[in-house]
Amino acid sequence: MNGKPRRVVTIFFVLAWIFFVAAPVVSGKEPDGLKGMKSAKAIFDVRVANPKGAAVQIKLIHQTYQQLVGKKKKPVCVVSFMGPSVKLISKNREGFSAEDQKSLDEIAETISKMSREGIRVEICLFAANLFGINPASILPEIEKVENGWISLIGYQAQGYSLVPAY
């Protein structure tokens, strides 16, 4: 197969993929796991070091919260930054490329929106100190906790579901 027929076949398969794979995501039914649930409590453990990857995950966390609100599940969410991800929520952006700077802007903007909507955002000060992050440089919406693991333990003891974001 050369030229035009190959292109037609490729387009057909791409459209078929969109129809059969992507369409159910857009119009999916409510997950069985949410049936009978009146509220949802989750703590998201964010440790992604890559700015672009972290920006995607932070947006997905925000979208997850909004979808739970839309499904009337009364979500209570906490986002905890630990490990190398603490470098992504500082106002100090030395050493980041121009492309990474755009992702850092997206992260800061999404965190600001989440905070306004009632999502608690935390940073582990142990990790911040380990990675040389000055606590004064941390985005203002973010709560500082001494040890993120202790926070995770506490939230899980209160019935929060742990959602890893690595």
CATH number of the domain where residue 55 is located: 3.40.1260.10
Task: Give how many domains the chain has, as a whole number.
Answer: 2
- 4 plus 82 within the same structural domain: no
The domain of 7 spans 1-30
CA distance 65 to 74: 9
**Beta-strand pair 75-81/40-46:** parallel
38 & 16 share domain:
no
Same domain, 18 and 60: no
Residue 13's pLDDT band (boundaries 50, 70, 90)? very low
Question: Structure pTM?
Answer: 0.81
Using CA atoms in the order 74, 80, 85, 86, what is the torsion angle rounded to 10 degrees? 130
Pair (79, 18) in one structural domain: no
Percent of the chain with pLDDT over 90: 77
